[in-house]
Amino acid sequence: MKLVNGLLLFLALCFSHSAHLLAAPSNDQRKIAAPADNIYAIELQFKPGHSSALERLSEAARTSLTLSRTTRTDARVLQLPHSVRTAEANHILARLRLLPEVLWAELISGAATPSSIRSRTLNAQQKPSRNQVTLKLRNFDTLSQPVLVQLSQAAGVDLDYLRAISGGGHLLGIRGGVSLSELTALARRLEQHPDVLYADPVVSAKTKLTPNDTLFPSQWNLFEAPGGTFFPAAWDVSAGSSSIVVAVIDSGVLPHPDLAGKLLSGYDMITDITLSNDGDARDSDPRDPGDWVASNECGPGEPASDSSWHGTHVAGIIGAVTNNNAGVAGTGWHTMILPIRAGGKCGGMSSDVIDSIRWAVGLPVPGTPDNFTPARILNLSLGGEGACFSSIQSAINDALASGAVIVVSAGNEDTNVAFSWPANCNGVISVAANGRAGDATGYTNYGALIKISAPGGDGPDGGGNAIFSTYNAGTTAPAAYTYQSLSGTSMAGPHVSGVAALMLSIKPGLSPSQILSLIQSSATPFTIGTWCASYPENCGSGIVNAGAAVNAASGQFSPKTGWWWNPTQSGRGFMIEKRGDNLFMASYLYETDGRASWYASGGATGTSSYQGFLTAYTGGQTLTGPYIPPFNAGLAGSITLQFSDSSHGSLSWPGGTIQIERFEIVANGVDAPPAAFQPESGWWWNSAESGRGFALEIQDGTLFMAGYMYDAQGKPIWYSSAGKMTSANSYSGTWIQWANGQTLSGSYKPPSIVNPNVGSIRLLFTSTTSAILTLPDGRQIALARFLF
């Protein structure tokens, strides 16, 4: 089998010929979901030195098998009875894969077709897969069949000639899908052939849902770490829905080309004509006439100010037209805006805000027409000093009861949010402002009532560290439309409103409390060394992470990279890492004779689930010995992982089904913010010594690491080491050997330490992805993150 359904596992990256990545069926043969009258066969390869009689294979398959042919790589093609249909063929395949003498097995159709090397053209309708390499020959342009045979032998797989490509190159196919790391290694083997000038894997060019708005590169707040919100990852799941309405209760919203088609018919709720500045009181026109004031107009000593166009700016953050090759991108491509004007010259009145809240969700307000487009999210980038009055809390309670999410900006007074309404009201999501560097801004309000932080900008208005959005050029009355960058918690709140809108677009039934919980649990932690990390009670749960929150809302949880375990079964654990569309896991446990052992599994995965096979390896490199490539010892069974959130899930394998969760190396370590210079958690290796690997994680300055390798007899073994980092970039400790613990399928028993000092270990991290490892014999090797 192509080492667990096409993924060459990290701990067995044996790219020598002994890896036996042989003769998997070509994509034009491999049609598992074939019509019912298709004739199936199974192509399988025995482990070196092993074989089985046809009778044993038929017995294991529970059906009569006929040997159709033997390929030149000594793989057997076994014909299934004509009556076998797709489902049963897959069951037969699974039974044969579990035989200890079988290296790999694959289901093919059209089995009577000879498997000799042949020229063919790739079907234009064929789904691309990782099964192709390009190469160029040194001295001639034509690739003859004898040379193709030689290249197949050099690669260790059967190659098919697909077509010529530009520049005198050639496109070759490998039968069956393989992992990118395996494909890359195969290309490197081809380059060792004297006739090959170069060889490269064919990789996919995956598009990301990144908008083409001309100012998007300046919108660091939407995509940039550490202070941004990762909206492109959210847009890959949902770009929003026009059925989800966000009410912008603000100063009114002006028409703008980047808001065209996004504004619903709102309302002007201002009752005081001296504040409204539009010549009348409440009416159905929520446009902003301007809120400029002269000196002392808002009170003695109050300075003059130009019109703020505040509501227009807020509306653009949430719902600007996106991917229109102009202006800015909004957080929700299809999210609709309901403009409600509650603030004018010198601000607004709390009574108007109260009526705005109720009208926004479709509740009746005396003297105003009904709202037939009620909002699911209310954005209030406004407020005042003082307690949350009962009248305001009552309106908020009514809105919450209708199912609306209420997002409130914390305020810009650099004081405790407990003294700022409505951010201090119960049930609202109060939002503090962080800057581009991922820490609290100097102006934001703070305190225990803050639920989450979001980008508010920390530079002067008009600067690159502020928040770009839709605007108007008028200093008093409206003039030409434009764009402007502003800073304030008023800019932070709309990011959270935008996230909530995307979450509701994929799961409309989420309640306000569920929205808050998911936003908080998926937030990006503050980096160690920041004020918010030092005083976490002041800044909420972290910086809102749109991608993580939307995935969480969809029920698609990516597991956090690091150590996992079942707390009732200490001494046995799992290192799990997901990169892109692939997952790799190794389990450390014990054999029936008590010795430590490990199994690995990896391959393509969904966001929150994985199915694959456990593979055992033997005969590889020891802790201090010379490099020896390991050998695939066969399958130990199948495995299924299902994650209920990023830190919890279930594991089903030969030992049954158990619940697993992230392992706390130190108390509250899983959620501890990373240090400013902290090596990445996950798999590390030396690329020249494939087959041996190291899994490490650092939580709150404490490292836990396991090394997966082999003993002097070639049997798999693991050692562990744990302790405080000796500095920000170094660790010193000892390797410990465990034994006599829980087996793969046996009942639980605690392990014991059989050697507390196998040898010393020293790690010097030269970056977050590279290190120098000093082995017990003093030899130093370079380690790097393994990017499977």
What residues are annotated to the active site?
A: 250, 310, 490
Residue 229: name the closest of 449, 485, 502 by CA: 502
CA distance readout (Å), 675 to 147, 510, 699, 701: 54, 34, 9, 8
751 contacts: CB under 8 Å, gap ≥ 6: 571, 572, 590, 596, 738, 739, 740, 741, 742
Residue 500: name the closest of 508, 489, 492 by CA: 508
Integer Cα distance of 107 and 118 in angstroms: 20
Integer Cα distance of 497 and 499 in angstroms: 5
SS3 content of the chain, % helix, strand, coil (to 5): 20, 30, 50
Return the HEC string of 110-155: CCCCCCCCCECCCCCCCCCCCCEEEEEECCCCCCCHHHHHHHHHHH
What are φ and ψ of residue 91, in 5° steps?
Answer: -65, -40
Q: Report the relative pairing of strands 336-341 and 467-472 from DSSP bridges.
A: unpaired
Q: C-alpha angle 422/281/303, rounded to 5°?
A: 60
Phi-psi region of 633 (alpha: psi -120 to 50; beta: other; left: phi over 0): alpha
Burial label for 448, CB within 10 Å (0-12, 13-18, 19+), is exposed
Give SS3 for 568. Answer: coil
| Residue whose structure tokens are 């090759």 | 325
Looking at this protein, which amino acid is placed at residue 556? Q
Residue 698: name the closest of 533, 563, 572 by CA: 563
CA atoms within 13 A on the CB side of 373: 18
What are φ and ψ of residue 146, in 5° steps?
Answer: -60, -40
Q: How far is C-alpha 650 from the geometric centre of its chain's CA atoms?
A: 19
Q: Kindly state the helix (H) or strand (E) to which residue 490 belongs, with its residue range.
A: helix 489-506
Alpha helices in 699-770 (DSSP H): none
- Residue 43 near residue 25 (C-beta atoms within 8 A): yes
56 contacts: CB under 8 Å, gap ≥ 6: none
